[in-house]
Amino acid sequence: LGGANDSIELTITLRDESADLDATPYPRFPLPGTYIVDVSAWYRSNPVVQHTVRLTVVVDRVEMIYTVLAGTSGLGASPGHGAIFSLSVLNLGNGPSVYNITCETPNRWSVELGDGNSSSLTLEPLARLQFLPVTVRVNVPPVVNGLPAAGTKESISCTTTHTGSSAMSTVETTEIEVFVSQEFTVDLYSSTGVPVGVWGNALDEAVIDGQRLNLTLDIINKGNVPLELDVTVTPEQTTWPLGLFCGAQEASRSLEITIAPGAGAYCRIEVQVPQVVADGAQNEVIVRTQLSAGEFIQNRTTLVVEERPDLELSAPESGLVSVTLGSLSTTSFTVENTGNTALTLAWETGSVPEGWSVGFHQLPPGDLGMHRQEYVIVSVVLPSGTSAGIQSANIPVIVTGTTPGGDDVVRSAQVGVEVLPTAWVNLSTDRHEFERIVPEEAQQGNLTVSNQGNVPCRIDLSVVAPEGWAVDLSQSMFQVLQPGESSIVPFTVTVERGADSGPLELTINATVTAAAGIPTIDSSLVLSSSSSELAQDGGLFTYLDDAGVPSWAIGLVAFLLMLFLLGGFMMLRRSSGDLDPGEEIISAGMGGLGSVEQRREAALDTGLAKEDYVSGAVSSDEIQEALDAANPVPKLSVPKPPGAPPPPPGAPPGL
């Protein structure tokens, strides 16, 4: 280098051979990191003498992203299908980067990214200049009320964002077109509303002579354009009368109908079974619904002439009947005649545990026509003390349907039993009648209080009695009475002097209290009572009773007094004389009329002077008298003497 203190400047260029900032189409940045370079100088003649300078080079992180869409030309799909395109992501940075992709449409159509079903996807780390395509599937929604209509366009935007820096992102946008859809469905139903099914597995239907039935054809336009369809019905037996009805249109075999997008057409195929047809005869009916020569749907069913009885008996949907002890509970069964002939029904209930009372709350139906439905009400009463909860035993109901030809169809259904917690008390006594109680003398009785429910409860006893009467209970309250437990309560019945003597009623009430929400059933007991006190009006018997005279003595006095009054009346009748009340109107001096006995005899005289005798023979005179009496001969009247008639004997002078 020359002499002492001489110097020279050197330029050192450090280059990453893997990087190329001028590369096309995208630059290649060096990898990020810290690089150390040692620069050493030494004498060639004396290598021991040297000097080293360490250079540190730091390459910063560069973040760049590039995205592009592919497959968007003519992008679209028909309703119910998906439109597919791809989004490619390129990492232009100089190190691994993680990106998140999110796609959405204004109407929130379903979007699926990659192999999943989510509209958001986080990619695996991408290395420098690594390229990754992601599949995007946009599902066009099915037609609802004709929408989305054919030709409708929906935009979709996909945003790619660096997970470490939300400011670094790209947005790609495209449009999806809704294509034309001419999809339609056809369903054929039997006369009972049962789906016939697909062509190869179609159900047949039993019919009877002279029956008129209606098959139903439901056609739904699930596309987004109007459809013009041809509906044709072809029966195997052309002699069976048949008609096709679609709205206001009708024809014997074929119709053309137009259905708007999202709408439906409901056609009726009426078939008349001949009055005279062989048992077992069949008629296959084929229905063809055609859009074009290559787009059509065929349905078929076979009508078989036979008597096919059938019944359906259904229990309540809940499968349970809730029962409260001490009361009647009911549940409803449904019976339906699903056959093609009328049925006579016979009902019965199956076996139930001892003590259960099960029956029909109302008279069940005895006859059920074709395709008719009725309800049957079953009542349930359970014995006291039945534990709460769902019981292990069920209540079965059995119905037997008999056809006019004598064939039977038996169906059964059963319902479970859930017993609710119930507080139920019952009152009973060893003596119900307290007759002719002596005032101020107590009569004894025993009251039995029983908890016939299934939960503990409190019982309060009370009495309702008329004024002057009293029922004294030895105990008026039970704080807790366990299920099935009974207790005897002695009581007395007394009546005050002067109170209502009856007969009347005394009532003992039991009021039940249980935990909140538990139903309670109270009880009452009626006692018949009366007093031995005879009168309350201040008469003779009241004074005797107040004087302490025994009731038997008062009764004896009353009996003797009645005998005395009766005897006096009879004596007055006998001493009243023989004068008839009618004689009082006869004037004095009229004795010529005779005595009472003479007048009675004259009144009873029939005009026959002869004596009457009883004999076994009839004389000729008697026969003649009878004939004369039956056919009287007119007699000549006697001439009236001149002058006034003489006065009656004993008449006053001047008459």
Where do the structural domains in the chain lie, given as residue ranges?
Answer: 1-60, 66-178, 192-217+229-305, 311-419, 423-531
Helix, strand, coil % in the chain, rounded to nearest 5: 10, 45, 45
- Phi/psi at 215 (nearest 5 deg)? -90, 145
CA geometry: angle at 187 spanning 185 and 191, to 5°? 160
Q: For residue 633, name the pLDDT band (cuts at 50, 70, 90).
A: very low
pLDDT of residue 364: 94
Over 60: is that where the pLDDT of 538 sits? no
Cβ-based neighbours of 162, under 8 Å, separated by 6 or more: 63, 65, 97, 98, 99, 168, 169
Q: Tell me: the pLDDT tens digits for 246-300?
A: 999 999 999 999 999 989 999 999 999 998 888 899 999 999 999 999 999 999 9
Q: Which of 422, 398, 428 is nearest to 411 (CA)?
A: 398
Residue 626: CA count within 13 A, CB half-sphere:
6
Q: Dihedrals φ, ψ of 23, to 5°? A: -70, 150
Which has the higher per-residue pLDDT, 604 or 86? 86
* Average pLDDT of the residues in 218-246: 95
Partnered with residue 100 across adjacent β-strands are: 122, 161
| pLDDT tens track for 136-177 | 999 999 998 889 999 999 999 999 999 988 889 999 999 999
Q: Evaluate if residue 187 carries a pLDDT over 90.
A: yes
Sheet containing 65-70: order of strands: 65-70, 82-91, 131-139, 110-113
Greater confidence, 594 or 383? 383
> What integer is the mean pLDDT of 291-311?
93
What's the pLDDT score for residue 230? Answer: 97
Digit-coded pLDDT (tens) for 456-495: 999 999 999 888 888 999 999 999 999 989 999 999 999 8
On whether the CB atoms of residues 224 and 79 are closer than 8 A, the answer is yes
CATH homologous superfamily of 311-419: Gamma-adaptin ear (GAE) domain (2.60.40.1230)
Kindly report, residue by residue over 195-207, the tens digit of the pLDDT.
998 787 788 999 9
- CA 202-203-205 angle, 5° bins: 140
Q: Do 434 and 494 meet the contact criterion of CB atoms below 8 Å apart?
A: no
The pLDDT-based confidence of 629 (bands split at 50, 70, 90) is low
Distance in angstroms (rounded) separating the CA atoms of residues 554 and 564: 15
Q: Name the amino acid, one letter, at 532.
A: S
The whole-number pLDDT of residue 612 equals 47
**pLDDT of res. 637:** 43
pLDDT for res 41: 86
Give the up-direction half-sphere exposure of residue 504: CA atoms within 13 A in the CB hemisphere.
19
**At 632, is the pLDDT very low, low, confident or very high (cuts 50, 70, 90)?**
low
| C-beta separation of 37 from 55 below 8 A | yes
Average pLDDT over all residues of the chain: 85
Strands 520-521 and 423-429, sheet pairing: parallel
Q: Is the pLDDT of residue 545 over 80?
A: no
Q: CATH number for 423-531: choose from 1.20.58.390, 3.40.50.10540, 3.30.1320.10, 2.60.40.2310.
A: 2.60.40.2310
Three-class SS state of 310: coil
In terms of DSSP H, where are the helices of 576-632? 596-604, 620-630
**What is the pTM for the complete model shown?**
0.51
CA–CA gap between residue 560 and residue 556 (Å, rounded): 6
Neighbours of 171 (CB within 10 A): 11
Whether 66-178 and 192-217+229-305 share one fold: the answer is yes
Report the pLDDT averaged over residues 573-578.
59
As a whole number, mean pLDDT of residues 94-98 equals 92
pLDDT tier for residue 14 given thresholds of 50, 70 and 90: confident
The CATH label, of 2.60.40, 3.90.25, 2.40.50, 3.30.70, for the domain at 192-217+229-305 is 2.60.40
Counts for the chain of helices (H) and strands (E), in that order: 4, 40
Which residue type does 49 have?
V
CATH architecture of structural domain 66-178 = Sandwich (2.60)
